[in-house]
Amino acid sequence: MITTTGLSKVYRSRGRAVTALDGVDLHVREGEVYGVIGQSGAGKSSLIRCINLLERPTAGTVTVDGQDLTALAGRGPRAGRELRQARSRIGMVFQHFNLLSTRTVQDNVELPLEILGSSGKERSRKALALLDLVGLADKAKSYPAQLSGGQKQRVGIARALAGDPKVLLSDEATSALDPETTRSILQLLRDLNRQLGLTVLLITHEMDVVKSVCDSAALMAGGRVVESGTVSELLATPGSELAAALFPVGGEATGDDRTVVDVTFHGEAATQPVVSQLSRTYNIDISILGAAIDTVGGLQIGRMRIELPGRYEDNVVPIGFLREQGLQIDVVDRAAPQPALPKEGAK
Amino acid sequence: MSGTDWSEMQPLLSQACWDTLYMVGWSTLVAVVGGLPLGVLLVLTDRGGLLQNTVANKVIGQVVNIARSMPFIILMVALMNFTRTVTGTTIGREAAIVPLAIGAIPFFARLVETAVREVDGGLVEAVQAMGGNTWTIVRKVLVPESLPSLIAGTTTTVVALIGYSAMAGTVGAGGLGDIAIRYGYQRFETELMWITVAILAVVIALIQFAGDYAARSLHRRGGRSGPGPKLRLLRAKDPAAPDVGKVA
């Protein structure tokens, strides 16, 4: 549905060049919720703004619903008619809502329809239907200043849907909201994705957003996509930074001559008593440092961090045994490099 | 100094009042019609604007600056030929409207520029993302969203024009300023001079009040569309916030 190839964006100001996007290849399939996560400065914002060409990419192409938007762009900063028409079929939701303060909620939702040239009757019918869809039917005559943050974002979403888009771009839509409201807005996006078959591309710096609504995810750092794939693929990828962040288990090694291993269970494997089998077979003592079971992207998953006595070299055979059981094993390297992922609460 | 004949002065004063309002009214109208597009163009052609055009921006900016730095009394004299072409005369209230309006256009244009610059860039972006063109953005975003500031700017312009119209009175334009100078100052009818000053003060107070009221009532239903930056910071750092991750 959305494909970018070799997308690059270089900002030039006063002779200095800053590379925001460095050859990004992204593929968002129809009907999925795709999350792009990364720290600020990673290039997420530039990426989403390049998708509807609010930002002109320096190189590369953007294809949305089979249409090459970069070919429509033309020269100069102004958007031609064809690009504007293509944009009207892509909805966009913003972090700061960007509602017109002098218009009522209903008039805000009608704005894209005015641009499309719908009749007054049609506009008001559609705006009211959309407000009903996002649960704000009673606020049609209110002004944005009278609404809470979550309600404003619902208006923003209703407005984004007015042009019957197949694609919704969400630029940090929940980052200005409190956790409770974030949850309800994400739920709404999920529902719209299911009910309308809407493809959603969202960018965020919050791992919880990816965890609760995304089918697929990409991790960005330094203008590049570091990891990407469906959530289940990512969780099955040994050493995946995204997977570790989506589903973290805590616990530090208790000494230098210990080996720490992360064991991930998917589906069937979760039922096997592997820890006691391992202990009995090799006659070793195993400490459990941390364990959790959770649902990630609609998938039941368990993860356990265990500690074996001795260095890695001494534990090659037991670790091999665990792998034979069909479990995903990640040996935790204590000298691991600093992850590209944002820490909790970091912006 | 008791030579003031009130029965004679009253019709004179009411005529002067009317003349002042006539001159100021028409010149304000012309200033708004001319200054609004000019001010919007100043923003649009600026660097990073929707119609970025450095040359046009510099030219408009310089013309506005030169016109604004010209003392009004000089402008009146300089425009005499132009005024005669437009109105057929250089004397009287109609003739005064021409230099008043031309002096006020660049003044109002700068006020428009400041007001339009205040509009949140995110709103422009939102309408661009909907497929709106530049004209749509001007019509549906820039002008309506800056309306309270535009009204405040118009009030300032009207008040400034009343001051200028008094100056125009010295060259036979009529109006309250004319009365104050000719009857009050030159004929030593101090009382009459103070009366005209008092009338001017009341008129200006009324205009300011009406302008403020209009701007405020528009602003009341408006306001920013997002929470303030401080509020966001507090929320993001709130340690007692429930864990969002528990949501499936």
The pLDDT tens digits for A104-149 are: 999 999 999 999 999 999 999 999 999 999 999 999 999 999 999 9
Domain presence at residue B107:
yes
Specify if B247 maps to a domain. no
Chain A contact present for B143, CB below 8 A: no
pTM of the model: 0.80
pLDDT for residue B222: 54
The mean pLDDT of A196-222, rounded to a whole number, is 90
Q: Specify the pLDDT at position B4.
A: 60
What six digits make up the tokens of B58?
């510099």
Residue B180's domain comprises 11-242
Structure tokens of A300? 């039941």
Note the pLDDT tens digit of each residue in A286-341.
888 888 777 766 667 778 888 888 888 888 888 888 888 778 888 877 555 445 55
Measuring CA to CA, which residue among A216, A193, A235 is closest to residue A328?
A235
Burial of B47 per CB tally in 10 Å (0-12, 13-18, 19+): exposed
Listed in order, the ranges of chain A carrying CATH 3.30.70.260 are 247-331
B133/A contact by beta carbon, under 8 A: yes
- Bridge pairing between strands A59-64 and A67-68: antiparallel
Q: Is B208 on the interface with A (CB under 8 A)?
A: no
Alpha-carbon span A323 to A35, nearest angstrom: 30
d(CA A134, CA A140): 12
Please name the fold of domain A2-235.
Rossmann fold (3.40.50)
Q: Quote the mean pLDDT of chain A.
A: 86
Report the residue of chain B nearest A85, measured CA to CA: B131
Confidence band for A168, pLDDT divided at 50, 70 and 90: very high
Q: How large is the average pLDDT for residues B52-64?
A: 92
Contact between A347 and B236 using a beta-carbon 8 Å cutoff: yes
Q: pLDDT band at B10, cuts 50/70/90?
A: confident
Worst-scoring range by mean pLDDT, A10-14, A174-178, A291-295, B27-31? A291-295
Report the CATH number that the domain containing residue B216 is assigned in CATH.
1.10.3720.10
C-alpha to C-alpha distance for B234 and A149, rounded to whole angstroms: 14
Contact list in A for residue B123 (CB cut-off 8 A) is 98-100
SS3 call for B80: helix
Any domain includes B3: no
Instruction: In whole angstroms, give the CA distance from residue A73 to residue A71.
Output: 6
8 A C-beta contact, residue B177 and residue B168: yes
Mean pLDDT of chain B: 83
* Position B113 in a domain: yes
Residues in chain B: 248
- CATH superfamily entry for domain A247-331: ACT domain (3.30.70.260)
Q: How many CA atoms lie within 13 A of A309 on its CB side?
A: 7
Lowest pLDDT segment from A8-17, A215-224, A293-302, B165-174: A293-302
A320 vs chain B: nearest CA distance in angstroms?
33
Q: Is the pLDDT of residue B221 over 80?
A: no
* pLDDT for the residue B242: 41
Q: Of A220, A235, A178, A181, which Cα lies nearest the Cα of A35? A: A220
Mean pLDDT (whole number) for B150-175: 87
Given pLDDT bands bounded at 50, 70 and 90, which one contains residue B62? very high
Q: According to the model, what pLDDT value does residue A269 have? A: 60
Predicted confidence (pLDDT) per residue in B118-147, tens digit:
999 999 999 999 999 999 999 999 999 999
Residue identified by tokens 């230099």 is: B99
Residues 6+ apart with CB under 8 A from B117: B43
Which residues between 26 and 65 in chain B have a beta carbon less than 8 angstroms from any beta carbon of chain A? Answer: 50-52
Q: Which residue has the tokens 């309308």?
A: A196
CA distance B63 to A323: 78
Put simply, the answer to whether A208 touches B247 (Cβ < 8 Å) is: yes
Task: Flag whether B48 is in a domain.
Answer: yes
Task: Tell me the range of A235-249, A252-266, B77-91 where mean pLDDT is highest.
Answer: B77-91
How many separate domains does chain B show?
1
Tell me the mean pLDDT in the region A84-108. Answer: 93
State percent of chain A over pLDDT 70.
Answer: 92
Q: At A137, list the tokens.
A: 């039917």
Q: Which residues of B80-114 are buried (b: 16+ CB within 10 A; e: fewer)?
A: eeebeeebeebeebbbbbbbbbbbbbbbbbbbbbe
Judging by beta carbons within 10 Å of its beta carbon (0-12, 13-18, 19+), is residue A56 exposed, middle or buried? middle
B242 in A contact zone (CB under 8 Å): yes
- Closest-CA distance of chain B to residue A338, Å: 23
d(CA A76, CA A274): 63
- A108, A54, A96: which is closest to A78 by C-alpha? A54
* Whether the predicted pLDDT of A20 surpasses 60: yes
Q: Does B89 touch chain A (CB under 8 A)?
A: no
Q: Do A163 and B222 touch (CB under 8 A)?
A: no
The number of C-alpha atoms within 13 Å of A247 and in the hemisphere containing its C-beta is 29
3-state percent helix, strand, coil for chain B, nearest multiple of 5: 80, 0, 20
pLDDT at A274: 80
Considering just the CA atoms, what is the radius of gyration of chain A in Å?
A: 24
Chain A neighbors of B247, CB-CB under 8 A: 183, 186-187, 208, 212
Residues of B within 8 A of A112 (CB-CB) are: 130-131
Residue B79 lies in a domain: yes
Q: In this structure, is residue B102 part of a structural domain? A: yes
Length of chain A: 347
Cα B216 to Cα A31, A38, B157, distances in angstroms: 46, 42, 18
Lowest mean pLDDT among A53-67, A201-215, B210-224: B210-224
Chain B CB contacts of A77 under 8 Å are: 50, 52
Residue A287 phi, psi dihedral angles, 5° rounding: -105, 140
Alpha-carbon distance of B244 to B248, in angstroms, equals 9
pLDDT at B109 over 70: yes
- Which of A94, A102, A185 best tests the B interface by mutation, with the highest count of B CBs <10 A? A102
Residues of chain A with CATH 3.40.50.300: 2-235
d(CA A208, CA A222): 22
What is the rounded CA–CA span in Å between residue B46 and residue B64?
Answer: 14
Nearest Cα to Cα of residue A31 among A198, A161, A189: A198
Instruction: For residue B239, give Cα distances in angstroms to A145, A163, A344, A345, B230.
Output: 27, 40, 11, 10, 16
Is A112–B131 a contact, with Cβ atoms under 8 angstroms apart?
Answer: yes
Asked if residue B210 has pLDDT above 70, the reply is: yes
Phi, psi (deg, nearest 5) at residue B143: -70, -55
- pLDDT score of A96: 92
Nearest CB partner across the interface for B131, out of A78, A85, A177? A85
Integer Rg of chain B from CA = 24
Please give the helix or strand (H or E) that residue A288 lies within, else none: strand A287-296
Q: Given this model, what pLDDT does residue A165 score?
A: 93
Q: Which residues contact A7 (CB under 8 A, 6 or more apart)?
A: A21, A23, A24, A25, A26, A47, A50, A57, A59, A60, A61, A62
Least confident of A56-60, A216-220, A255-259, B236-240: B236-240
What local confidence, expressed as pLDDT, does residue A303 receive?
81
Query: What is the distance in angstroms between the Cα of A33 and the nearest Cα belonging to chain B?
Result: 14
